[in-house]
Structure 1
Amino acid sequence: MSFIDAIAAATAATSISRAGWHTPVADDHPATALLCAKAVRSRCAAVMRHVEAGNSALFTWQPQHLPATAAYVADTIRHDYPDLAVPYHSRWRHFEAGGVDRWAALAARAGLDDTPLERARVAFDLVIPSVLLDAGAGTAWRYRDGANGLSLGRSEGLGVASFALFAGGGFSADPARPLRSDAAALARLAPARLAEAFQASAANPLVGLEGRAALLRRLGEVMEATPAVFGRPARLGHLVDYLAARAAGRPLDAGEVLAVLLRALGPVWPGRTVMDGVPLGDCWPHPALPGDGLVPFHKLTQWLTYSLLEPLQQAGFTISGVDRLSGLPEYRNGGLLLDFGVIAPRDPALLAEPLTVDSPAIIEWRALTVIGLDRLADAVRAELGLSAASFPLPCVLQGGTWSAGRRIAADRRPGGAPPLAILSDGTVF
């Protein structure tokens, strides 16, 4: 029996089987309510209500600045995409840095264009570890893409560096099949190997190098312990087959893809909140939340979901419910709202204080960013004369809020640093 046949036999289309998972999550487990896109919006909305009611000691919401922000984002979109044909916000855009379509060239060389499912598997093998490596690089680090004569920093540099590492077989334990990411290779990835691949050194420091390597090693361990999704031998590309079996010929809901990733990859994240044995990932406490008091963001996992939709569509899958996913609460989108004063600190000194990812200010700012992006998206569409159906949220992000956040940061601060000083461990931002 093939891997996909085994999945189809073991997995119902509407529920996640408990067999073969590192950390099974039953549908009635209390963590289930937090491991979904709906929880991100609903709980961030509670934080927004708390702030709008004037109950926050940290921030205020200033909606009078939304029109100017929307005009700035719309101007950025028109400049970068004059025809308004904006792709989804995803990791694939970074692989195209410098106008070079590295993925198309690699797929053609490997003969993947005539095998849509295997092309999607290899795309998953590439993009999943690349997204997990996409936490902020810091302002000093650069990656030299010698083949194309480019010096790249931040997300573009991280994307191209991880692409080169993958293309060279860095995530495969089988030299005869380099274009895959398997558990055996990931579980033994050393920081020195990652430093070499990313050209990191004392003179070219990369923030969170140890944390990045540890995250990929943990990914390998979790894959090995989750054969229901990643098969045996465990390979990230097998997730395509898992999703194909769950879809069973129907449209694949983007929120369902996220839910699968949150359950399958939740145990990867280090040092996070655990609820009755289930790791919650990017989920943090806030006093505005009743009950368990937690607000989920799932930023990297949502970013990963956006990045998986494109190869799934290219393989012939129909995707629905893209707007179920939220905007990404990170320093470009959230920085845009701070720089325009839509989110305003009660004490301006807060912006100069180094803050950890679990600090109350960072948690509240991220929650405001999620809801703020929904409101800003509506205003941007009005500026462009487009509907939500024709210009969904991932297009607003790509066109868009992320680029506009980078643009205004570059105008206001040397090196384009965000308006908040964030102490990152390489696993959130």
Structure 2
Amino acid sequence: MNDTEETVTPGTTDVPADAGQGWHTPVPAGHAALGLLDAAAVRRHAAALMARIEAGESEHFTWQSERLLPTAQYVAETIRHNYPDLQVPYHSRWRHFEAGGVDRWAALAARAGLQAMEDADRLERARVRIDLVIPSVLLDAGAGPDWRYHDAATGQTLARSEGLGVASLQLFTEGAFSADPARAPLRSDGVALVAITPERIARTFQVGAANPLVGLAGRAELLRRLGEVMQATPAVFGQPARLGHLLDYLLARIPAGSRQIDASEVLRTLLLALGPVWPGRVALDGVSLGDCWVHPGAPQGLMPFHKLTQWLTYSLLEALEDAGLEVTGLDALTGLPEYRNGGLLLDMGLLAARDADFHQRPLRVDDPAVIEWRAATVVALDHIAALVRSELGLSAEAFPLARVLEGGTWSAGRRIAAQKRQGGGPPVSIDSDGTVF
């Protein structure tokens, strides 16, 4: 890149002259990758693949539209059961920290003296929340059916996402992500993350021969890459690099006098800043596209999902609100194409595999059938959300997709899985490296 080439800075329409400084991978204005690095691209490309399914042109699936309303009614029933007052929180990592009805974050914040409400304290508390939640989300890919985490503080034994959430909170509390764990344990610094090992994660996550965790090495590598990218992106994460400095970057992008930030801007920032973290993925002219896969039926032959980055955006909402910001435009984000939401479609008969082998054989994340399944999930979740709101008598403003997911489709996917299969596993088997599902 030459010194005069324009570059894009997330969250702005202007192009500052120094926008390329301090970024791991500066993205030139007009770069083709920019059209794939947002939630609108996820919906647009998913709609194209979904149109093929609905038209009967898919080799892998048929769409059973008569099952759409019963599926939405099942989700609405699940919401009423989980939240009789319909006061549903955001779908985010923070719910997993509350597994078993214990608010572990609140307890940690109280012990650490983070509860004071002065502005300076609120900002630092929000930074700590960001320090916690980003690596926790990156550690959140499917654990597999056999892993369990015993939470000594509560006596609970937790599996899957709840277990991963509580284990990652413990790892953070121990100072595993801090460059100075003795004096400042509740931080996530680039120096510490670069040095993380599978063995360090395994120790806190209680991994062993009798308690295997899927994708352990991939999780450690993802955190190491996170540390490297942070250190190479001081524009966002500062020097020395700390994840919590993301808050300061976002605050600096907000117009003077405003306390609002758009969810799409948060997502775009994360996609550009953290895109180089993802391993072995599709790149376009030197820019990593992250959770984006090749499919001949998709526009440009590419199907972006950005599942973990969108999950991270959802999981940052409470931290940003804690800092006094109002996050707008939540429904610009898509539903999350993962095995609970996607499993709901299959288990309710809304999406039907043409080949029964789809439910039997181990599937790779780049399998065309998996890509189509995930694309159909994105589109179906929008349809289901609209019908669920109608069932509940709520508006989109009062009940954004982030609440529909939590109440919601994710819970309903887990509920129907438990009814269908012993152990409640998903209806498909994904060969995951710990960085997608």
Smaller-chain TM-score bracket = over 0.9
- C-alpha change, 1:341 and 1:12, in structure 2 (3 Å) is closer
1:113 CA drift (Å): 2.1
Distance 1:289 1:99 in 2: 42
What's the RMSD between the two structures over aligned residues? 1.2
Does 2:402 align with 1:394?
Answer: yes
- From 11, 26, 30, the equivalent of 2:32 is 30
Aligned to 1:416: 424
- From 44, 62, 65, the equivalent of 2:64 is 62
Counterparts of 1:248-397 in structure 2 under 5 Å?
248=255, 249-250=257-258, 251-290=260-299, 292-397=300-405
Aligned to 1:163: 169
Aligned to 1:3: none
- Structure 2 SS opposite 1:65: helix
TM-score scaled by length of structure 1: 0.96
1:288 CA drift (Å): 1.8
- C-alpha change, 1:393 and 1:288, in structure 2 (3 Å) is same
- Structure 2 SS opposite 1:252: strand
Distance 1:14 1:223 in 2: 24
The more displaced of 191-200 and 242-251 is 242-251
Aligned to 1:236: 243
- From 199, 214, 223, the equivalent of 2:221 is 214
The more displaced of 383-392 and 150-159 is 383-392
- Structure 2 SS opposite 1:147: coil
1:236 CA drift (Å): 0.2
1:163 partner amino acid:
L
2:296 partner amino acid:
P
Distance 1:428 1:356 in 2: 11
- Structure 2 SS opposite 1:267: helix
Distance 1:209 1:271 in 2: 17
Contact 1:283 1:294 survives alignment (8 Å): yes
Moved over 4 A (4+): 10-13
- Structure 2 SS opposite 1:40: helix
Distance 2:10 2:293 in 1: 31
Distance 1:394 1:338 in 2: 21
Distance 1:82 1:71 in 2: 15
Does 2:412 align with 1:404?
Answer: yes
Contact 2:46 2:298 survives alignment (8 Å): no
Aligned to 1:46: 48
1:176 CA drift (Å): 0.7
Does 2:203 align with 1:201?
Answer: no
1:112 CA drift (Å): 1.6
Distance 1:398 1:350 in 2: 27
- Structure 1 SS opposite 2:53: helix
Distance 1:360 1:80 in 2: 35
Distance 2:78 2:337 in 1: 20
Q: Which runs of 5+ in 2 are unaligned?
A: 1-8
1:289 CA drift (Å): 2.1
Identity %, equivalent residues: 67
1:105 CA drift (Å): 1.3
Contact 2:91 2:406 survives alignment (8 Å): yes
Q: Which runs of 5+ in 1 are unaligned?
A: 1-9
1:58 partner amino acid:
H
1:26 CA drift (Å): 2.1
Distance 2:11 2:139 in 1: 32
- Structure 1 SS opposite 2:303: strand
Contact 1:11 1:245 survives alignment (8 Å): no
Contact 2:11 2:268 survives alignment (8 Å): no
Distance 1:30 1:11 in 2: 15
1:11 CA drift (Å): 8.9
Aligned to 1:5: none
Distance 2:12 2:335 in 1: 27
Distance 1:319 1:14 in 2: 18
Aligned to 1:225: 232
Aligned to 1:102: 104
Distance 1:348 1:340 in 2: 15
Distance 2:125 2:234 in 1: 21
